Amino acid sequence: MDTPTPSHSVQTPLIRLEEVCFAYDPGRMVLNQCHLSLRPGERVGLVGPTGGGKTTLLHLIVGLLRPTAGRVEIFGKPRTKEADFLEVRRRVGLLFQDADDQLFFPTVAEDVAFGPLNLGKPEEEVRRLVRETLAELGLAGYENRIIYRLSGGEKRLAALAGVLAMQPEVLLLDEPFAGLDEKTAQRVLDILARLPQTMLLVSHHRDWLRQIATRTVRLQDGKLREE
């Protein structure tokens, strides 16, 4: 499916951060008055040094963390309390940096099915989603594979399958190519390029980001800047 071309002048951002600040410790500011707008159809690469706050920023968007100052607006509404983020998490899919943080069930099929079932989708539709999503990622036949016996790369793909099976409107992808060999990473890149969802992708692989991102922003010293 073709990805829609964003119209920056008329489209309201799906995600808007205004003067967002965050600190884990009082003397260590991770994010310092950050501004970010993510509009429909955009695929934005997020780069920066290790430990610079990229994962923190993704977690703020889905409400796993709360800013110490500033405004988080998702789908045109300010989001401040836990109840505000319940809708966000149904519509925004977050791929964690560490797949083990995302995989909870014994088998691949159970894990991928959890999100759609939690959304109230019929079991027959969920089985189809699981089968099609796994096949798309090259994991056909993995339905009954035991999660803890998978390789690191297979776990990464299973976690991504769980996110995609939710059919989110926005994808937040934290190092989606981590642990993948070059061939598998290229397959994931090709899949992401075909998806219609708006995306914010964190990656240290600049060459792969250039193939998919419509623009790139850098997070460094607590500040976001266009590249």
Return the pLDDT at 10.
Answer: 54
109 neighbors 130 (Cβ within 8 angstroms): yes
pLDDT of residue 4: 43
pLDDT value at residue 7 = 40
SS3 82: helix
Domains, the chain, with CATH or none: 15-226 (3.40.50.300)
pLDDT score for 100: 92
* Series of mean pLDDT values for 10-residue runs along the chain (227 residues): 42 94 88 96 95 95 96 96 94 94 95 94 94 92 95 92 95 91 87 92 91 94 92
Task: Give strand pairing partners of 93.
Answer: 171
Rounded CA gap, 14 and 154, in Å? 31
Structure tokens at 193: 């390029």
Terminal Cα-to-Cα distance of the chain (whole angstroms): 28
The pLDDT of residue 184 is 85
At residue 201, the pLDDT reads 96
This prediction has a pTM of 0.90
| Environment class of 226 (CB within 10 Å of its CB; exposed 0-12, middle 13-18, buried 19+) | exposed
15, 88, 109, 158, 163 from 91: Cα distances, Å: 12, 5, 21, 19, 11
